[in-house]
A and B are shown apart, each in its own frame.
Chain A
Amino acid sequence: MSRHERPSSETAPRPDADGIDRRGFLECMTWAGTGILWSMSGGVASGVGLGRALAAEPVKALTFLQISDSHVGFDKAANPDALGTLREAVARIRTLKEKPAFMIHTGDISHLSKDKEFDDADQIIKEAGIPVFYVPGEHDLLDDGQGKAYLDRYGKGAKGAGWYSYDHGGVHFIALVNVVNLKAGGLGNLGVEQLEWLENDVAGLPSSTPLVVFAHIPLWTVYPEWGWGTADGLEALSYLKRFGSVTVLNGHIHQVMQKVEGNVSFHTARSTAFPQPAPGTAPSPGPLKLPAGELKKNLGIATVNFVRGSEPLAIIDTPLEG
């Protein structure tokens, strides 16, 4: 159906000469099957199959993981056992040859912000045996305190609704919260206080510092009809313009999608719980019920590699099966 589709081959997807074009990028998320390694160089993305990527594995890389949208507590037809598939994702992490430095979770840890859901998620995620950095999804702020339960558990040392930054291996990581105070008819929202904090946070950094920004809802506008975007995302990105390498990692849409714009590369991760339809392909973004055997090909984790001292950044999306 699309020139980007690579159901089973190891061949590299070939973006247009000028990178991924606007017309094409929505199609890119239909990829399923084997992982694809993306490396960014001079704003041009190129992909190679997972097999080749592993063969050419860089020696000195900072590797970290992204998991997203575990929705612990979800038990509907699309996946009656969201806890079980999270367990499988963590088991997969434990089999990685090179132990990642840490993991980021881009939100919707729980389905309904219940203590038991958070407890169950924590229990399984800690089995990965690496530090975890969280941001909340809208499903994590459904307690009576509208986010107090999340902050009590995951927000130590964070500002405001749970945003923070840290450095690792020469990379500056920025965790943003765009699921609070959403406005009627609107998209994700960062808010003035957080934007001011962000501007100050990066003010003292040399432009050569690689940045990784993560938040639950995509910071770029994926599909406003379904609320898939962040109203003040462009403002946030404007503070990051001078940096040579910016990687934006999001969740929320339960499918892999990527885009490169200048020095900024955007990537969304699969869920560990259930897939959601491609934009506009269903009456609503509700959980996608797949035929038996297809589910785990559409759930998964992402591995991110930074090769120090060189430009490329690589993201490998690995489904739970297939």
Chain B
Amino acid sequence: MKRSRLPLPPQVAALAICLALGALATPAAAEEVAVSIDNFTFTPAEVTVTPGTTVTWINNDDIPHTVVDKKQAFRSKALDTEGKFSFTFTNAGDYSYFCSLHPHMVGKVIVKAGG
């Protein structure tokens, strides 16, 4: 089951995941956002979330990837196919991250209050 084979543009597919996870989340604090990894690309490449949000990366490629913050706030192990990694962002700020195996793969999480 390869998500990258969906006829939807990746952004739409990712949005669908976000909505699905959002529906499962408890209404109060914990927000959940998903970033999918398809075809050596973080999708969406940039997400803006509120403090307390948990971001979960899911690898849909048949090659392992990692999720590593440039400033070392987080670092996943190698995620094999369908592997997941979650990190809860408590502090506001910009988090630029990349895949340490394929460093041309980059993404960003922007954490800011409100919205």
Using a CB–CB distance below 8 Å, which chain A residues touch chain B? 76-78, 111-113, 138-139, 142, 144, 182-187, 224-227, 283-287
Contacts and interface: CB of A to CB of B under 8 A. Distances in A.
Given A284-B39, A286-B61, A286-B62, A184 B96 contact: yes
Contacts of B97: 184
Interface string B46-87: 000000000000000111100010100000011011000000
Contacts of A285: 40, 102
State the 5 A-B residue pairs at the shortest beta-carbon distance, nearest first. A184-B98, A284-B39, A76-B62, A284-B40, A227-B104
Given A112-B64, A184-B96, A286-B61, A227 B39 contact: no
B101 interface: yes
B64 A284 contact: no
Contacts of A142: 64, 77-78, 101
A227 B96 contact: no
Contacts of A78: 62
11 contacts: A77-B62, A139-B64, A139-B101, A184-B68, A184-B96, A184-B97, A184-B103, A185-B106, A226-B40, A283-B4, A286-B62
Interface residues of B, number: 23
Contacts of B96: 184
Contacts of B61: 284, 286
Contact of B104 (A76, A138, A144, A185): A185
Contacts of A286: 39-40, 61-63
Contact of A112 (B41, B68, B80): B80
Given A113-B78, A184-B103, A227-B103, 15 more contacts: A112-B78, A138-B100, A139-B101, A182-B100, A182-B101, A184-B98, A185-B104, A185-B106, A187-B103, A226-B40, A227-B104, A283-B4, A286-B39, A287-B62, A287-B63
Contacts, number: 60
Contacts of B101: 138-139, 142, 182
A106 to B, nearest CB: 16
Nearest to B70: A184
Interface string B102-115: 11101000000000
B57 to A, nearest CB: 15
A186 B103 contact: yes
A186 B104 contact: yes
B105 to A, nearest CB: 8
A302 to B, nearest CB: 23
Contacts of A76: 62, 81
Nearest to B61: A286
A148 to B, nearest CB: 14
B62 A182 contact: no
Contacts of B103: 182-187, 227
Nearest to B64: A112
Nearest to A224: B104
B8 to A, nearest CB: 15
Contacts of A144: 77
Contacts of A187: 103-104
Contacts of B70: 184
A139 B63 CA distance: 10
Nearest to B80: A112
A298 to B, nearest CB: 17
